[in-house]
A = this chain, B = another copy of it.
Amino acid sequence: MLVSEIPLDSSALNKSMVNFSAGALVTFEGWVRNLNEGKEVIALEYEAYSSMAEKEGLKIIEEAKNKFKIIDAKAVHRVGKLNLGDIAVWVGVSSKHRGVAFDACEYIIDEIKTRTPIWKKEHYVNGDSGWVNCEHKH
């Protein structure tokens, strides 16, 4: 897994997965959307503890390769300021048969969201902002 400060190009990422022995590619793109828990979002920023995020991401990908009969898997997470519709995270999994590609792709994104040290700060229309999951906890 990589952490990227530049916008993700899903076309190039998808192409990087081409493999003549693979029959299936499943990809996930996480996009910046305009509402979170009812609050209107205008922009957000992701901040990563990059060295650990990349190590933890590689562990997740190795786990997926051991659990599921896939050919390849990759993941990239964007950091920095993002706008509506930007890709925050991309995951791609190739395999011979499609079922395992769906399972592995979902496994990888679920684990990335749970385990990799990457944080999101949302900026709202009303001027407020906050780190998701970190506010009002003591």
- Complexed CA–CA distance, A42 and B3 (Å): 38
Size class of A's contact patch?
A: 20 to 34
Q: Verify if A118 is at the interface (C-beta below 8 Å from B).
A: no
- Complexed CA–CA distance, A84 and B27 (Å): 20
Q: Verify if A130 is at the interface (C-beta below 8 Å from B).
A: no
The chain A residues found within 8 Å of chain B, CB to CB, are: 10-11, 14, 18, 20-35, 84-85, 96, 98-99, 101-102, 105-106, 109
Can you list 18 A-B contacts with CB-CB less than 8 angstroms, sorted by A residue number?
A10-B11, A11-B11, A18-B31, A20-B85, A21-B33, A23-B31, A23-B32, A25-B28, A25-B29, A26-B28, A27-B29, A28-B98, A28-B101, A30-B98, A33-B96, A98-B106, A99-B106, A102-B106
